[in-house]
Amino acid sequence: MAQGEQAGDVTGDGAGTHRLVEVPGGRIHLVEQGSGPLVLLVHGFPESWYSWRRQLPALAAAGYRAVAIDVRGYGRSSRPGAVEAYRMLAHVGDNVGVVRALGEEKAVVVGHDWGAPIAANSALLRPDVFTAVGLMSVPYSPRGGMRPTEGFAKLGGDEEFYIGYFQRPGRAEAEIEPDVRGWLAGAYASLSGDTMAPEGSPSPFFVARGARMSERFVDGPLPGWLSEAEFDVFAQEFERTGLTGGLNRYRNVDRDWEDLAAWDGAPVRQPSLFIGGQRDSSTTWMRDAIAAFPTTLPGLAGSHLLEDCGHWVQQERAEDVNRLLTEWLANL
């Protein structure tokens, strides 16, 4: 076995291989399963490669080389200290580096949550490498005319939109670090279709002045799709690494806006797929982005909103996502 590889049953459903690969920006930890055309899976916040544990065996069984990465700042991937090291261009570079390190020239890229814009921008900036793109929970929205932090400031009114709350280094960490497990459990439950607060409840995405984001999290059991043992995998990683790497992605939205000025309004033309949850705030806030798909994603094969599903779509509705994903891949 090559250096940097470790085989084992990493998904609970079959054999997988952990690897550390070198990319220009450092190292990326990944888990791969199967052989065939490469499908690169990119997670969001606050997650890890493990968010794709139910997709790895399904994609492998369908004849693909499925690879789920820990995005820089997470897990065993590099965690640079500088905030600006987490700008979008760096994440796109990591994705290209992973494809090359795996000995491949091209890949389909699929992302969830923050992984969705990372996947979309990977396809936008490097269409020579990423031949198709799947987006989950967060629809593609091209770079626009307003600086992002200015737009987020207008959303909150007397309260702060959570992305604004995350901007100052150390602020969210001071809330999260004393009880990483409790914060994660509340975040997962608050955004899950089966455990989120009733409609009309104060939104956890808005923070009252002087308050903490977690004060509006639901207080109850873990979602039905997340066992205690599975939750331990997430919690133990974040207890070890902290969440600064993930939070630094949010702290680069204005840098991304500056870096991507040449792609203002640009569509992603490759074959694409969108899957979201009907109960996910991302699909309601960004309904205009979904409506604009004929212009922004001219290669769109399907846009699916899953009933009674929240934000963690590939974990909440694994069978539906696996079916939609493999059917789309088969028709590329």
Is 194 catalytic? The answer is no
Q: Which residue, 232, 241, 118, is CA-closest to 176?
A: 241
**Residue whose pair of structure tokens reads 């369908």 in the numeric block:** 62
Question: Among residues 113, 256, 259, 280, which one is catalytic?
Answer: 113
Alpha-carbon gap, residue 250 to 196, rounded angstroms: 23
Which H/E stretch holds residue 259? helix 253-259
Query: How does strand 159-161 pair with strand 206-208?
Result: antiparallel
Question: Among residues 29, 91, 304, 311, which one is catalytic?
Answer: 311
**Tokens representing 308?**
């009674």
Q: Which residue, 168, 138, 136, is CA-closest to 250?
A: 168
Count Cβ atoms below 10 Å from residue 173 Cβ, excluding itself: 15
Contacts for 281 with CB less than 8 Å, ≥ 6 apart: 191, 203, 205, 311
Altogether, the residues listed in the chain come to a count of 332
Q: How far is CA 242 from CA 75, 145, 236, 320, in A?
A: 9, 34, 10, 32
Q: How far is CA 316 from CA 11, 177, 242, in A?
A: 16, 26, 25
Is 311 catalytic? The answer is yes
Q: What are phi and psi of 32, to 5 degrees?
A: -125, 155
Residues labelled as active-site residues: 113, 311
